[in-house]
Amino acid sequence: MNGLEREQRIFSWGGLEYPQDTVIYRWGCHVELVPGGVQPYVLGLFPEGLIGPEWVSFAIEGDGLYLLESEINGFEMDWGDKRLDDFLALLLNQHDQWAVVFELYSDQIDNVYELTVDECVRKLKANLKRDVKREGFIAFPSSV
């Protein structure tokens, strides 16, 4: 994907290179994608047949979610040119099958939704507003 930068620390010794950390992908200064697995209880909430051998799972790290939350709640944030919400829309629109898991407190899923990409991004933003009841959710495309 254009604009996504691969990064991995390498240690060189004796003319050989050894990877030191997991590969991460950066979208600008504030968004990091870290490959990883999905907790088994979460996978049990996915529609049957959605997950296949080609699936890749990433956790969004970095301060992108914090910046988005702050911005939604009235603070002016400097993203540079790479916003988290733009990245999600761009990434998800490139795939027919996808899933977004927004877990509160690392284990709370309240609802599972069939959504368009735009609806998914709006749902995420709505859950970042202060003074609203937040929900953990899973979203997948309605065409699944």
- Domains of the chain: total: 1
Inform me whether the pLDDT recorded for 6 exceeds 70.
yes
- Judged by DSSP in three states, 17 sits in strand
**H helix runs in 9-63, sequence order:** 40-43
pLDDT tens readout for residues 66-116: 999 999 999 999 998 899 999 999 999 999 889 999 998 878 899 999 999
**Averaged pLDDT for residues 33-38:** 90
Phi, then psi, of 105 in degrees rounded to 5 = 55, 30
Domain range for 54 = 4-141
Higher per-residue pLDDT: 113 or 41: 113
Beta carbons of 135 and 126 less than 8 angstroms apart: no
Identify which of 52, 56, 60 has the alpha carbon closest to the alpha carbon of residue 87: 60
Q: What is the pTM of this model?
A: 0.87
